[in-house]
Amino acid sequence: MTKKLIKKEEETKKKKNTIKDTVTDNTHHTDNTDNTDNTDKTSVLCVLCDNATAEILFEDNTFERILKIFATSKEAFTYDKLAELLNKKPENIRQAIGREKTYFEIKKPDGKKAVIHLSHIAIEKINLRIANFKQKEAQKQQIEAEKEKKISKREELIIEAKKFFDSCKKSIGKQLKQGNVIIINFSDLAEFSLELSDELMGNPEEILRLMELAFEETGFTSDIRIRIINLPEDCKIFIENIRSKHLNELISVEGRVVSITDVRPQVVNAKFECPSCGTVISVLQMEKKFREPSRCSCGRRGGFKLISEEMVDTAKIILEDLQEKTDNPHTRRLNIFIKEDLTSPKNIKMFTPGNEIKIVGILKKVPMQMQKGGLSVRFDLAVEVNSVELSEEEVDINKFTEQEIKDIKSLSKKIDKDGLDEINNSFAPHVYGYEEIKMH
């Protein structure tokens, strides 16, 4: 048993010696040969950290400054030497090191002054600081590179948009005579620039603003609105098929207008001033509840002064699927919102209840308010309309087939003297009764 215990002790000692000799990538050994103060000639553990990095990593207190000296040097130090470097008393150095004993190893050769160097624990912690710092710096560089790339991409798209406007300036000129609205056929845009059209589909809000900015920079006019029509077939969606994957995308929806609210002004952007530093903060108003800034860059929270509001005319419309074009017997409905020129007396007529319309717009989520206050984890969906067209066509009698003409004549003979019972019964046949409502 005794031999076994002795053998285990020897193995344990070997493991400890192996651990002491192991150093991380940022850790180095050096032999101290200074016979004046640092007389210990044993292997010294150190961390190699450049001065610029050390200025950021270490705080301005005695303990952190001691770590900084060790991190930027290959030497071991005495208490007197550290006191001299930090312009402190040796007693202050002893106290600082004494409070954090695990960070240091102190050796006192016979007849010589005590020599201090970093412990394995300190080296591991400092190396972790360096690794975290380098990781953050790499992330910053990546973010900056992405910003530059985004700016470069934005500039390329603006140039591409200007070229597109130049290619169709005749048709644009005709449209501008009627107002500051430019209607663009998506197929024309896709034919001219696939890159611009693809970006528009994936990020419509930003690209529409970019295109409007590009047009204003051409010098034609300012404060214009771009309306997109005729999206590809794969972008045309029934209301019942709209899902969260379509959020913030440009989609086309066809339906029947159920109702429309009165046109009323709405705040779309508000500017606030910070009383502490005077910074002006812009807050987009996308929700029902008026939003204020949560905080300022100076750290202030709340108490901001409202200095201006940007308001536009808006109206809410309820649109429902065209039942005859879907397999679902129960029609689904969708809230859509119009603003600015779409609320003009001329355009608002297209949203008359009963009209069948085609809209192009951006699908957005709308927070749902709970009865007891607060916001629900569920969201409603709504479309901010970019363009609208009537989908109903005027009846052309010349296009009727012979069979259709026979059916119309046959139906006319069935109409009795008391009214249009046959026609009345053809409306919503699955709903029993309500004859007067159906007739009206």
Instruction: Tell me the DSSP string of 184-224.
Output: EEHHHHHHH-HHHHHHHHHSHHHHHHHHHHHHHHTTS-SS-
How would residue 365 be classed by pLDDT, with cut points 50, 70 and 90? confident
Per mean pLDDT, which of 19-23, 284-288, 292-296 is the most reliable?
Answer: 292-296
Residues β-bridged to residue 313: 265
pLDDT score of 39: 39
CB neighbour class for 84 (10 Å; exposed up to 12, middle 13-18, buried from 19)? middle
CATH number of domain containing 168:
3.30.1640.10
Residue 133 has pLDDT above 60, yes or no: yes
Which range marks the domain in which residue 401 is found?
Answer: 397-439
Residues β-bridged to residue 338: 315
Which one-letter amino acid corresponds to residue 427? Answer: F
User: To the nearest whole number, what is the mean pLDDT of the chain?
Assistant: 81
Give Cα 44 to chain centroid, integer Å.
50
Which of 76, 97, 118 finishes a domain? 118
pLDDT score of 219: 76
Q: Across residues 331-351, what is the average pLDDT?
A: 90
The rounded percent of the chain whose pLDDT value lies above 70 is 77
| 291 and 275 within one domain | yes
Phi, psi of 7 (to 5 degrees): -60, -40
How would residue 40 be classed by pLDDT, with cut points 50, 70 and 90? very low
CB neighbour class for 223 (10 Å; exposed up to 12, middle 13-18, buried from 19)? exposed
Nearest one of 179, 178, 210 to 193, comparing CA atoms: 210
pLDDT score of 414: 67
**DSSP3 helix / strand / coil % (the chain, rounded to 5):** 45, 25, 30
| 277 and 249 within one domain | yes
Q: Is 179 left (phi over 0), alpha (psi -120 to 50) or beta?
A: left
Contact 137, 99 (CB under 8 A): no
Length of the chain: 440
pLDDT-wise least confident of 44-48, 53-57, 155-159, 411-415: 44-48
**Per the domain annotation, does 10 fall within a domain?**
no
Q: Across residues 84-109, what is the average pLDDT?
A: 90
pLDDT digits (tens, 9 = 90+) for 192-249: 999 999 999 989 989 999 999 999 888 777 788 999 999 999 889 999 888 988 999 9
Helix (H) / strand (E) containing 53:
helix 51-57
| 424 and 342 within one domain | no
Query: What is the rounded CA–CA span in Å between residue 107 and residue 90?
Result: 17
**Per the domain annotation, does 60 fall within a domain?**
yes
pLDDT score of 425: 66
Residue 160 has pLDDT above 50, yes or no: yes
| 422 and 341 within one domain | no
Helix (H) / strand (E) containing 412:
helix 402-414
**Per the domain annotation, does 165 fall within a domain?**
yes
Residue 342 has pLDDT above 90, yes or no: yes
Which of 200, 229, 258 finishes a domain? 229
Q: How many domains does the chain have?
A: 4
**Per the domain annotation, does 187 fall within a domain?**
yes
**Strands annotated E in 340-440:** 356-369, 375-390
How would residue 325 be classed by pLDDT, with cut points 50, 70 and 90? confident
DSSP 419: B
Q: Is 214 left (phi over 0), alpha (psi -120 to 50) or beta?
A: alpha
| 382 and 257 within one domain | yes
Nearest one of 57, 51, 54, 47 to 24, comparing CA atoms: 47
pLDDT score of 302: 85
| 289 and 384 within one domain | yes
| 263 and 356 within one domain | yes
Residues β-bridged to residue 106: 116
How would residue 187 be classed by pLDDT, with cut points 50, 70 and 90? very high
Residue 44 has pLDDT above 80, yes or no: no
**Per the domain annotation, does 129 fall within a domain?**
no
- Token pair of 6, please? 């002795």
| 161 and 39 within one domain | no
CA angle in degrees (0–180, nearest 5) for 412-413-415: 70
Within 10 Å of residue 64's Cβ, how many Cβ atoms? 13
Phi, psi of 81 (to 5 degrees): -65, -40
| 401 and 378 within one domain | no
Nearest one of 19, 17, 45, 49 to 31, comparing CA atoms: 45
Q: Across residues 25-40, what is the average pLDDT?
A: 44
